[in-house]
Structure 1
């Protein structure tokens, strides 16, 4: 059973495009449906984490909005960071899922219990993961992967029931 879902950001939670204006403001677009699934995962007891090579206040804000418990930015070695999380929460690597899209994610993907990527990930990642989303990064891939994990863990039916019973 997966207990921790770790995500990359650019190309996974976003479409991988960075918009920078003349005042050096950077913009990233996040998918609302991805965010809903992440927030539900956390609400129902799952641990969510972001491990990314870049550092951004935008990502920090988005993580806070969704209740993501762990955020590691400016990371050079994602495997080292993942091992810190596994130790902190006393999880096995088999209880971890990782979602990424590029070759800097391959090391982490090779040691976790479940690896997944968006449909538009690089070829080297697509060839090595356990699951490839039908959707692109920033366009619902994370939602699809979280749903798959939550269905496997028996959480998705509880979420559906909650919303079906609202009056």
Structure 2
């Protein structure tokens, strides 16, 4: 059973576009369906971690809104950080699922029991993951991953009961 999901940001939680205003402020588009799926996963008693290569105040804000306590930004060695998270939570690799879309996610995705990439993930990533999703990054791919995991964990009733 999967107990922890690990999320990349740019290209998974977002469409991967970086938007800067003239004053240097950064903005990102997040999908509300992804957010509801993530917050429900947490309310069910599961864990969520974000491991991203960039630093962003916008990502910190989104993680806080969703109740994600495991946020790691500016990470170049994602698999090292993932190993530390797994150890700190007392989990086994097979209890972890992750989503990534590009080469900097490659090693991390090879560590977990269940791996995903959005439909528009890079070819090299699509070749190594368990599941290529039907949704693009930033367009509900994370929610699709969570829905699959809820089904595989036989937790659909528990997922639904959070809101109904």
Q: Same fold (TM over 0.5)?
A: yes
Aligned length in residues: 164
The offset of 1:159, in angstroms, is: 2.6
The offset of 1:152, in angstroms, is: 1.4
Q: Which runs of no fewer than 5 residues in structure 2 stay unpaired?
A: none
Give the corresponding residue for 1:8: 8
Q: Which runs of no fewer than 5 residues in structure 1 stay unpaired?
A: none
CA distance, structure 1, for counterparts of residue 92 and residue 162 of structure 2: 30
Pair 1:91-2:84 in alignment: no
Q: 1:43-69: CA deviations, max 9, x gaps?
A: 001100000010011001100100112
**Counterparts in 2 of 1:1-167, with a 5 A limit?**
1-164=1-164
CA distance, structure 1, for counterparts of residue 161 and residue 153 of structure 2: 15
The question of whether the paired residues in 2 share the 8 Å contact of 1:44 and 1:155 is answered with no
Q: CA RMSD in A?
A: 1.0
CA distance, structure 2, for counterparts of residue 81 and residue 29 of structure 1: 25
3-state SS, counterpart of residue 147 of structure 1 = helix
Distance change >3 Å, CA 163–CA 71, structure 1 → 2: closer
The offset of 1:163, in angstroms, is: 3.9
What TM-score does the superposition give when structure 1 sets the normalisation length? 0.95
The offset of 1:21, in angstroms, is: 1.0
